[in-house]
Structures are given as structure tokens and as C-alpha cells.
């Protein structure tokens, strides 16, 4: 009888260990997925065709943004930015909530925007190019 109880406890202990190991793998995978989702919203990572890092330090990241006529990006986010438009452009921005904004800009225009999450599209018939300066917050710069 003692042998059967010990064998039963060993099996139970083994199944608890297996359940714990499976839980840790699942939680670790969920953490990795959450980290990937957070970094996946970075324009340079999710849309390298349109966003290229030209310069970066602990205070700013400077991106060159280029869209051919009628090209569309994917949903991504930026911290506060300053944009310098190198060409005239006609764009449509789809915001994270689904609202769309249509706008035109002239070459040489400069614009500031707070943190945003959007999906840009060049709805014009000409290429669209700008330099986007992403401003890093002080807590990010301290890391």
C-alpha cells in the first residue's frame, strides 16, 4: 500500500512539475509576444520600405520617409515629432480608432505633432518625401 501511495505521489508531483513547466513556457511566450507587439509598432521595424533611420542619439531619431504614389503603410506609432516636408504631398491618415484625416502639404512646410498611432497613405499621384524627427522623452534618454 505504501508503495502505491509513493508511486501515486510521484506521479502527482511529476504532473505538477509538468503543469508548472508548461505554464512557464506559455507565460514566457506571452511575454515575448507582448514585447514583439510593442516593438512591432515602430515604423522602422514594421515598414522599412518607407522609413529609414538617418541619425539617432539619446535625444532624437531622424527618419527619412518616402512613399511612391498610392503607397500605403501599416499601423504604427511615433513619439512627439517634427516633420519637414521635402515634397508637396496629399495623404490620408487612418488613426488607431478608425477615424481618417485627409490633408495636403507643401514642400518646405514644417509641422509638430504629439505622440500618435496611425496608418499613412500617399493618395497623390507623385512621390512624397519628408524628414521626420522623433523626439525621445527624458526617461528614454536616461536608459
Given CATH 2.60.120.10, say whether it is the number of domain 44-142: yes
pTM of the model: 0.70
Listed by start position, the domains of the chain span 1-40, 44-142
Four-residue CA torsion sign, 112, 121, 101, 85: positive
At residue 38, the pLDDT reads 45
The region of weakest confidence among 4-8, 40-44, 67-71, 103-107 is 4-8
As a whole number of angstroms, the distance between CA 37 and CA 40 comes to 5
Contact 107, 88 (CB under 8 A): yes
Average of per-residue pLDDT values in the chain: 80
As a whole number of angstroms, the distance between CA 31 and CA 48 comes to 25
Instruction: Express each pLDDT in 31-54 by its tens digit.
Output: 444 444 444 599 999 999 999 999
Residue 16 reports pLDDT greater than 70: no
Strand order in the sheet with 100-105: 76-78, 116-122, 89-95, 100-105
Amino acid at each position: 500500500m505504501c508503495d502505491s501511495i509513493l508511486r501515486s505521489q510521484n506521479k502527482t508531483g511529476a504532473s505538477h512539475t509538468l503543469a508548472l513547466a508548461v505554464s512557464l513556457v506559455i507565460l514566457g511566450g506571452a511575454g515575448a509576444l507582448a514585447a514583439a507587439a510593442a516593438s512591432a509598432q515602430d515604423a522602422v521595424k514594421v515598414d522599412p520600405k518607407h522609413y529609414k533611420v538617418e541619425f539617432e542619439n539619446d535625444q532624437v531619431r531622424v527618419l527619412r520617409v518616402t512613399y511612391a504614389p498610392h503607397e500605403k503603410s501599416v499601423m504604427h506609432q511615433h513619439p512627439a515629432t517634427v516633420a519637414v516636408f521635402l515634397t508637396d504631398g496629399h495623404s490620408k491618415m487612418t488613426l488607431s480608432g478608425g477615424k481618417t484625416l485627409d490633408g495636403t502639404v507643401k514642400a518646405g512646410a514644417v509641422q509638430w505633432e504629439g505622440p500618435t498611432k496611425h496608418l499613412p497613405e500617399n493618395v497623390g499621384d507623385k512621390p512624397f518625401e519628408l524628414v521626420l524627427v522623433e523626439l525621445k522623452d527624458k526617461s528614454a534618454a536616461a536608459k
